[in-house]
Chain A
Amino acid sequence: MEKVKVRNLHKYFEKLEVLRGIDLDVAEGEVVCLIGPSGSGKSTFLRCINQLEEITDGEIVVDGASITDKKANINKLRENIGMVFQQFNLFPHLTVAQNIMMAPVQLKKMTKDEAAVRAKELLEMVDLGEKYDEYPANLSGGQQQRVAIARALAMNPDIMLFDEPTSALDPEMVGEVLNVIKKLAKDGMTMVIVTHEMGFAREVADRVIFMDEGVIVEQGNPMDVFGDPQNERTKNFLNMVL
């Protein structure tokens, strides 16, 4: 069954149409990388999937439930969709552990004690067990982003969305974040990743999608898209970035 099903998605900002009819199915356990020039709508598309952006037209179904339905319980559906942002967006007034425990405790999914145990586990998983009581400001960018991933995993989501997770990082920290994402891919997490890291996309993606000017221009497995792009725009883009 598809984890994410997008049909005829349109999105306007005022009069500007940034997404012009997108269809996409993401299978369970599939890792999809969205690539494309800036302004192509890939981040907007990703943010539509958990309704951080309201869509103008079309439908998005996540795990069998329409998230774009006016009557949908959006908060409930979002619990199942983790998101990681370019700017980390950790809560600066809370410790690393409190950041991770926030959602499970506030949404009454776990008691404080259970959440604390879970936070410890998740931090071990991203290799930051010793940062449990630190504040985000005392962490490097790469460490902050790994905490952000742990936080997004705290609700045990089925789907993870990554919005340019390494774009705000110093080059030497990109690897540690990508390694965590690779680990998740290996464990079978369904993921949609907007990225500029072509090498990473080639390695981790089951499918690469090239977007430009609000539409999906070309998609396929990474070997085909990177090795033998069919569309002129894809070729131009790949020539510029590779």
Chain B
Amino acid sequence: MDFFELFMQSLPRFADGMRTTLFLTVAALFFGIILGMIACFFKISKLKVLRAIATIYVDIIRGTPLLVQAYFLYFGISQGIGITMTNTTAGIIVLSLNAGAYLSEIFRSGINAVNKGQMEAARSLGLSYSKAMIKVVLPQAVRIVIPSVVNQFIITLKDTTIISVIGAPELMKTANIIVARNFRGFEIYGMVAILYFIVIFILTKISQVIERRLSNGKSKSSQSA
């Protein structure tokens, strides 16, 4: 079977795998962004309890390998306390927890990067803390964090490959199945690598366009502190 034939034959399964990969990524980022925002506001909160919760969450996620988290959640929890879930669900949970932890740190650094005179100026006008946050600090923080957030998107997309170990039928798992059948690892893994590369390349290009758009606005609006 020549290369082209092999490619055409594998393509439908690659497409299925890629669909699952993208689904895992989008779901994980959706929940990750929500988790990240909550953890970020916990972390900058005045309440010690909330800060502690956020710190513990981020430290646990950052301090343990994703692979171990995936095994623990999918195999460990079901064996230990009998809660079972599908491998896709487990995958989304693990990836969301990870993206959320790292995004919360990114969001926090963005908020911290906004000059504290901005908050003071808004408060001095009579705006409440939350109004000042929403109207003055966050719009500036968003611009600052966009490159890091896109970077996290890419990391999450790559992390989906690790979910193959618990059997979620994403692109990497699909490749493994094909190779187990035909022993054409060189071609199949090579094609998979190229497919990941193309998706991430497109994502990077889109983010560059967004960054350029925003930095246009920035050159007009924000060199001053």
Contact = CB atoms under 8 A, between A and B. Distances in A.
Interface of A: 50, 52, 75-76, 78-79, 81-83, 85, 87-94, 102-103, 106-107, 135-138, 144, 148, 151-152, 154-155
A91 B224 CA distance: 9
Interface of B: 115, 117-118, 120-128, 131, 135-136, 139-140, 143, 217, 219-225
A106 B127 contact: yes
B222 A92 contact: yes
Contact of B125 (A87, A135, A136, A151): A151
A89 B118 CA distance: 6
Nearest to B137: A91
Contact of A137 (B120, B139, B219): B219
B121 A85 contact: yes
Contacts of A144: 224
A23 to B, nearest CB: 24
B125 A93 contact: no
Contact of A79 (B117, B121, B125): B125
Contact of A102 (B115, B135, B143): B135
Contact of A135 (B123, B136, B221): B221
A127 to B, nearest CB: 19
A136 B224 contact: yes
Contact of B126 (A52, A87, A138, A155): A155
B139 A88 contact: no
Contacts of B223: 92, 137
A133 to B, nearest CB: 11
Contacts of A89: 115, 117-118, 120-121, 225
B143 A93 contact: yes
B212 to A, nearest CB: 17
Contacts of B143: 93
A155 B57 CA distance: 43
A76 to B, nearest CB: 7
Contacts of B126: 75-76, 78-79, 103, 107, 155
A52 B118 CA distance: 12
A88 B120 CA distance: 11
A94 B217 CA distance: 10
A155 B125 contact: yes
A46 to B, nearest CB: 11
A196 to B, nearest CB: 19
Contact of A106 (B135, B140, B219): B135
Nearest to B222: A92
A81 B139 contact: no
A82 B126 CA distance: 9
Contact of B120 (A79, A82, A85): A85
A87 B225 contact: yes
A85 B224 contact: no
A78 B125 CA distance: 6
